[in-house]
Structure 1
């Protein structure tokens, strides 16, 4: 069964950039499945917000690094809505420390969610997304601007870049685009948590636009890649206001 409305799965859709991206895709007319790991109340709030605005959404729990749960997520989406056209993988964690001081347990946690999670979600997406669809991973501009204390996090996002570029080529002939969005400093709770005001001010001044990005800025890029951007493929798009 082919639905007339595009169906999008957004991991990490219960908060931050993921939530705003889910709401934007719903506003674009897509049916949205909000995948979350541990905050059902926030996920259901996202669903209610989308519904109140006239959209269609469903919340489904899945640990992105658990292949059984991710398979069940994709099974449920196909059963409920007939297929999947867009996968937006925003789920990730960020734990900051200079390399010499990093607790390797934190490194392993980030690797599990950011690298294994991207691989597991990408594997199901590669098997399930319909012709004309889009797979959108989330990287980070920190792989390019190399901020101190971001070593381990940037390493996980470098792996996301590699997976994105190669998967785009592996899906040759399927009419499916695969890209990554690499936000710069963006005003989300994840980014702002624990940062002194002076540090936030310094990061604000890094961009020629002299402001932090907003989740809406990033959702706009997601909307573009999930819909009209059929000739952008195998790319990492730096959505960072000009930070270099």
Structure 2
């Protein structure tokens, strides 16, 4: 049976300056991967550099690069940096996202455009470049949301802008038949990170916690093993969205 190890693999982690992306970068480095640490804007640079230091401390090599993933030329530049630093790309994990919580009737056109730029267009462009650049046998993973399986208000433009990624994933996974490249999504429950809290109230936080089997929010430490699984022994899973959320939603 061929080895499914991450040792010496080149992994591009989009949105790696903090939270889940940062932990993924560090954990794959501990398994021997070389990591491209992506961040979106100057305000995230310090976090990205700290992630890169953690990658190196874990035994991996790291390169840090800023890119607006909603612009094709900058996504191309991210992959060019990866190839320039390490010679190839084996795996891509995209954790980038943006959330707005409000009634559909109150979402402005500007908010709509920004949400779809970050959650749908950026995911599309990353997947497109990954499909062109990833080595045969590679892996492409996108982080979406368990709200894709929820019957709820207030998250229309958030879940709605993540929903297209499922269709991108199904199509791309089929188009890459013959290259042994798997393409999947992971849909976490609400995560106990700085990404989650600004949009919520004490009451809504309590509700989200009560909806999972242990009465807690999803922890980033709960998601990383699933990411690593899809990058290694989970290679046969393809074209899927995996809901990793303690039963918060099911489908």
Please report the TM-score for the alignment, with normalisation by the length of structure 2.
Answer: 0.93
Q: CA deviation at 1:55?
A: 2.1
Contact (CA 8 Å) 2:89, 2:134: kept in 1 or not? Answer: yes
Does residue 41 (structure 1) correspond to residue 46 (structure 2)? The answer is yes
Does residue 64 (structure 1) correspond to residue 69 (structure 2)? The answer is yes
Match of 2:33 in 1: 30
Whole-angstrom CA distance in 1 between matches of 2:224 and 2:139: 15
Match of 1:239 in 2: 244
Q: Tell me the matched-pair count.
A: 242
Where does structure 2 lack aligned partners over 5 or more consecutive residues? 1-5
Q: CA deviation at 1:147?
A: 2.8
Match of 2:130 in 1: 125
Match of 1:17 in 2: 20
Task: Output aligned runs, 1:4-153, within 5 Å.
Answer: 5-38=8-41, 39-153=44-158
Q: Deviations over 1:157-207 (max 9, x none)?
A: 110111011110010101100000111111010111242222211111101
Whole-angstrom CA distance in 1 between matches of 2:224 and 2:103: 30
Secondary structure (helix, strand or coil) at the match of 2:196 reads: helix
Q: Which stretches of structure 1, 4 residues or longer, exceed 4 Å deviation after superposition?
A: none
Please report the TM-score for the alignment, with normalisation by the length of structure 1.
Answer: 0.96
C-alpha RMSD over aligned residues: 1.4
Where does structure 1 lack aligned partners over 5 or more consecutive residues? none
